[in-house]
Amino acid sequence: DQQVKQNSPSLSVQEGRISILNCDYTNSMFDYFLWYKKYPAEGPTFLISISSIKDKNEDGRFTVFLNKSAKHLSLHIVPSQPGDSAVYFCAAGISSGSARQLTFGSGTQLTVLP
């Protein structure tokens, strides 16, 4: 059973508009969340993260929102650029204890149309 879910396998957005990528999780033990971007034939690249003590984190064009009660997070990209076209993975982790692996969603392919 997947603990981190990205229900939209793909998303197309016009250049300059907002891209919103969604992620849901089921494990209430997760206390930090990350978004990674992946281009073909490359490894995932860290984009932005958020701790469970916050509900928003912003870095330039990228903002991550966390709704703990709904176990939902989203990544907003404003404005979207063609270079943002990539697969975006949501990941979650538990900071306490010895288990430090990340649990990933299946990814969302974002296509930004010029």
Partner 1 sequence: EAGVTQFPSHSVIEKGQTVTLRCDPISGHDNLYWYRRVMGKEIKFLLHFVKESKQDESGMPNNRFLAERTGGTYSTLKVQPAELEDSGVYFCASSQSEKQYFGPGTRLTVT
Q: Given the complex with partner 1, which of 45 and 81 has the nearer CB atom? A: 45
**Which range, of 15-23, 57-65, 75-83, 90-98, touches partner 1 by CB under 8 A?**
90-98
Per CB under 8 A, the list member of 107, 108, 110, 112 interacting with partner 1 is 107
For 71, phi then psi, to 5°, come to 50, 55
Q: Which stretch binds partner 1 (CB under 8 A): 19-27, 29-37, 61-69, 77-85?
A: 29-37
Contact of 21 with 74, CB cutoff 8 Å: yes
**Binding window for partner 1 (CB under 8 A); candidates: 18-26, 44-52, 61-69, 74-82:** 44-52
CB of 4 to partner 1, least distance (A): 7
Region at 112 (left for phi over 0; alpha for psi -120 to 50; beta for the rest): beta
Q: What is the largest CA-CA distance in the chain?
A: 46
Amino acid identity of 55?
Answer: D
Contact between 2 and partner 1 by CB under 8 A: the answer reads: yes
Phi, psi of 38 (to 5 degrees): -135, 125
